[in-house]
């Protein structure tokens, strides 16, 4: 055998060693548990034969704790680039067969390197997380590598799309890194996120709660608000990541992909004429309004189980990506609370970072009152929503379907926050507050001055007068705070035409490092 052939054989042997990671027995155990290996997952995510691996030969450099006996090529993470439906992406997947997917110095630096390469190439990055936190054997050097990774992720934020798939237990700083992504998807059965290990959590130790209840997918989707979507399995997680990516550009200086649609922009929406109940206190489903207006009725709702009094997600209008924000009248009457404000504010900033127009569907009676909300900081958190809308420079369109009261009206992309196109249905009410509340304040003395038997009649008369004067959209339209009042069946047509003319919108802001959002 010639020297060249020997070299090639050695290369093939080393590649095979890198491929088997922590060993065939460990990989088989992972598959038996219902999870895929790192390479299985990358094969699910990327187009066939498109993956180009980076740093497959790196190993850790720890000598303490007999680690010099356990050198594994790749050091527990598979990284590289490929394509998803022809679009180039960078990706990495932690390998649970190598030291339980734990993150040592070289492991972290390898991910940091691929993140930096993605930022330079101006391509999205998708990370698949499945690891037990920091590798204790590496000591403080492991923390140094992790710190470098965290810095790279923060520097990329708002420049390229970051998507995290959590497909196994992810603990400690690795959980922080996974949650820095723009979108975090958890696998329903195996996806778990913990900042503190369940082994160190008193409630788990005492048996009050199990690991799934502490940091499982459903918990993070409904209570912590970390998981934007829950995947049925790993293949579904990869499909959801690809679906989200389909609405996003490669980087912050590009436009989102255009998608041809057979759904005509001129399509009318007669269903919407009967959707809002005559009784202003009766609920309806805002998701149905959105699905009737957008292309082909396709609305990818995010954070569906978290703060469900507001809806957010992606759709398309006339083939172009839009970010949808809408009050949900069937939950808490559509009131804004702490969680809803935070949920919407972050989504608005994400859309603004990646040049995706915002379409707001408004039916909001106000901010949710109560001691819990006031003590919890609804003032500060509500200001986040207002700040995000005012800061956004992408095209902003607002449709008021029914109520738009008080400070919540202002916070939901009103004309005064430089929204580009604001329209309302004839059922809309734009006012400081509801008629009943306003009458009780304005005419308190007048109501109290009459006999008890007449109070209700007087109050109803005054409420009727107030509604006649302020309970319609034409007062705001006369002042130019609404651009038009439209028939509900024209909603798609009007929003689509406005979005088309606003494609070239450019907004100049005075130079500054960044605003000081009330975090």
**How does pLDDT run across 199-255, given as a tens digit for each residue?**
778 878 777 888 888 889 999 999 999 999 999 999 999 999 999 999 999 999 999
Residue of 490, 473, 463, 470 lying closest to 427 (CA atoms)? 473
Return d(Cα 234, Cα 239) in angstroms, integer. 9
Residue of 100, 166, 181, 180 lying closest to 133 (CA atoms)? 100
Cβ proximity of 225 and 303 under 8 Å: yes
Is the domain of 459 the same as that of 384?
A: no
Greatest alpha-carbon pair distance for the chain in Å reads 111
Is the domain of 185 the same as that of 322?
A: no
Would 450 be classed as within a structural domain?
A: yes
Is the domain of 108 the same as that of 208?
A: yes
Phi-psi region of 500 (alpha: psi -120 to 50; beta: other; left: phi over 0): alpha
Residue of 150, 161, 92 lying closest to 121 (CA atoms)? 161
- CA dist list (Å): 117 to 42, 81, 111, 153, 261: 18, 10, 10, 12, 34
> What pLDDT score was predicted for residue 431?
84
Higher confidence at residue 121 or residue 210? Answer: 121
Residue of 433, 340, 423, 335 lying closest to 385 (CA atoms)? 340
Would 508 be classed as within a structural domain?
A: no
What's the total number of domains in the chain? 3
Mean pLDDT of the chain: 90
> What pLDDT score was predicted for residue 291?
97
Output the CA angle 342-146-76, nearest 5 degrees: 110
Is the domain of 136 the same as that of 120?
A: yes
Residue of 293, 291, 287 lying closest to 327 (CA atoms)? 287
Lowest mean pLDDT among 253-257, 267-271, 440-444: 440-444
Is the domain of 241 the same as that of 389?
A: no
Write down the pTM of the prediction: 0.93
Lowest mean pLDDT among 19-28, 35-44, 334-343, 411-420: 19-28
Would 197 be classed as within a structural domain?
A: yes
pLDDT of residue 326 exceeding 80: yes
The domain containing residue 177 runs over which residues? 11-245
pLDDT of residue 66 exceeding 60: no
Is the domain of 210 the same as that of 145?
A: yes
Percent of the chain topping pLDDT 90: 65
pLDDT of residue 68 exceeding 60: no
> What pLDDT score was predicted for residue 138?
67
Cβ proximity of 301 and 313 under 8 Å: yes
- pLDDT interval class at 192 (50, 70, 90): very high
Higher confidence at residue 290 or residue 135? Answer: 290
> What pLDDT score was predicted for residue 136?
63
pLDDT of residue 65 exceeding 70: no
> What pLDDT score was predicted for residue 143?
84
Is the domain of 48 the same as that of 105?
A: yes
> What pLDDT score was predicted for residue 296?
96
pLDDT of residue 30 exceeding 90: no
Is the domain of 237 the same as that of 342?
A: no
Return d(Cα 408, Cα 431) in angstroms, integer. 10
pLDDT of residue 410 exceeding 70: yes
> What pLDDT score was predicted for residue 182?
97
Output the CA angle 437-438-443, nearest 5 degrees: 110
pLDDT of residue 440 exceeding 90: no
Would 310 be classed as within a structural domain?
A: yes
Is the domain of 235 the same as that of 293?
A: no
pLDDT tens-digit series, residues 476-500 = 899 899 999 999 999 999 999 999 9
Question: CATH no. for residue 406?
Answer: 3.90.226.10
- pLDDT interval class at 69 (50, 70, 90): low
Adjacent-strand bridge partners of 127: 92, 164
> What pLDDT score was predicted for residue 438?
72
Is the domain of 205 the same as that of 233?
A: yes
Would 259 be classed as within a structural domain?
A: no
Average pLDDT over residues 354-359: 97
> What pLDDT score was predicted for residue 433?
76
Is the domain of 276 the same as that of 405?
A: yes
Return d(Cα 289, Cα 276) in angstroms, integer. 10
Residue of 167, 91, 85 lying closest to 124 (CA atoms)? 91
Is the domain of 413 the same as that of 457?
A: no
pLDDT of residue 134 exceeding 80: no
> What pLDDT score was predicted for residue 23?
78
> What pLDDT score was predicted for residue 67?
60
Return d(Cα 47, Cα 86) in angstroms, integer. 7
Cβ proximity of 316 and 356 under 8 Å: no
Return d(Cα 292, Cα 102) in angstroms, integer. 47
Would 6 be classed as within a structural domain?
A: no
Would 102 be classed as within a structural domain?
A: yes
Would 335 be classed as within a structural domain?
A: yes
């Amino acid at each position: 055998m010639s020297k060249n052939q020997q070299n090639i054989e050695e290369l093939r042997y080393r590649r095979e060693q890198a491929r088997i990671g922590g060993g065939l027995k460990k990989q088989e155990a992972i598959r038996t548990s219902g999870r895929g290996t790192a390479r299985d997952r990358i094969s699910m995510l990327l187009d066939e034969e498109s993956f180009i691996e980076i740093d497959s030969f790196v190993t850790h450099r720890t000598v303490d704790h007999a680690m010099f006996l356990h050198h594994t090529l790749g050091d527990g993470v598979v990284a590289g680039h490929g394509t998803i439906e022809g679009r180039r992406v960078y990706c990495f997947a932690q390998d649970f067969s190598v030291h339980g997917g734990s993150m040592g110095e070289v492991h972290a630096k390898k991910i940091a390197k691929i993140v930096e390469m993605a930022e330079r190439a101006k391509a999205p990055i998708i990370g698949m997380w499945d690891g037990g936190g920091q590798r204790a054997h590496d000591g403080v050097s492991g923390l140094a590598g992790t710190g470098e990774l965290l810095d790279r992720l923060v520097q990329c934020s708002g420049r390229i799309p970051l998507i995290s798939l959590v497909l196994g237990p992810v603990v400690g700083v690795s959980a922080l890194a996974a949650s820095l992504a723009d979108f975090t998807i958890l696998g329903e059965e195996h996806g778990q996120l913990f900042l503190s290990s369940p082994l160190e959590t008193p409630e788990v130790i005492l048996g009050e709660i199990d690991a799934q209840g502490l940091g499982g997918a459903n918990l993070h989707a409904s209570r912590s608000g970390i998981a934007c979507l829950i995947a049925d399995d790993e293949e579904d997680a990869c499909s959801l990541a690809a679906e989200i990516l389909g609405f996003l550009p490669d980087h912050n200086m590009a436009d989102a992909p255009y998608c041809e649609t057979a759904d005509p922009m001129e399509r009318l929406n007669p269903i919407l004429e009967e959707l809002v109940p005559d009784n202003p206190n009766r609920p309806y489903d805002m998701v149905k309004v959105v699905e009737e207006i957008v292309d082909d009725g396709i609305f990818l709702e995010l954070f569906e189980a978290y703060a469900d009094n507001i809806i957010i997600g992606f759709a398309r209008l006339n083939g172009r990506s839009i970010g949808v924000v809408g009050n949900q009248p069937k939950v808490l009457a559509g009131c804004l609370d702490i969680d809803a404000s935070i949920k919407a504010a972050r989504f608005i900033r994400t859309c603004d970072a990646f040049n995706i127009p915002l379409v707001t569907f408004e039916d909001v009676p106000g901010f949710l009152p109560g001691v819990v909300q006031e003590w919890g900081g609804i003032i500060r958190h509500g200001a986040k929503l207002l700040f995000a809308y005012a800061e956004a420079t992408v095209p902003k369109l607002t449709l008021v379907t029914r109520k738009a009261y008080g400070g919540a009206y202002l916070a939901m992309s009103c004309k005064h926050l430089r929204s580009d196109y604001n329209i309302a249905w004839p059922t809309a009410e734009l006012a400081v507050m509801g008629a009943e509340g306003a009458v009780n304040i304005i005419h308190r003395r007048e109501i109290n001055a009459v006999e008890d038997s007449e109070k209700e009649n007087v109050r109803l008369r005054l409420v009727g007068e107030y509604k006649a004067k302020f309970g319609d959209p034409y007062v705001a339209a006369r002042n130019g705070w609404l651009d038009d009042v439209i028939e509900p069946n024209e909603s798609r047509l009007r929003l689509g035409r406005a979005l088309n003319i606003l494609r070239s919108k450019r907004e100049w802001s005075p130079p500054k490092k960044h605003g000081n959002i009330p975090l």
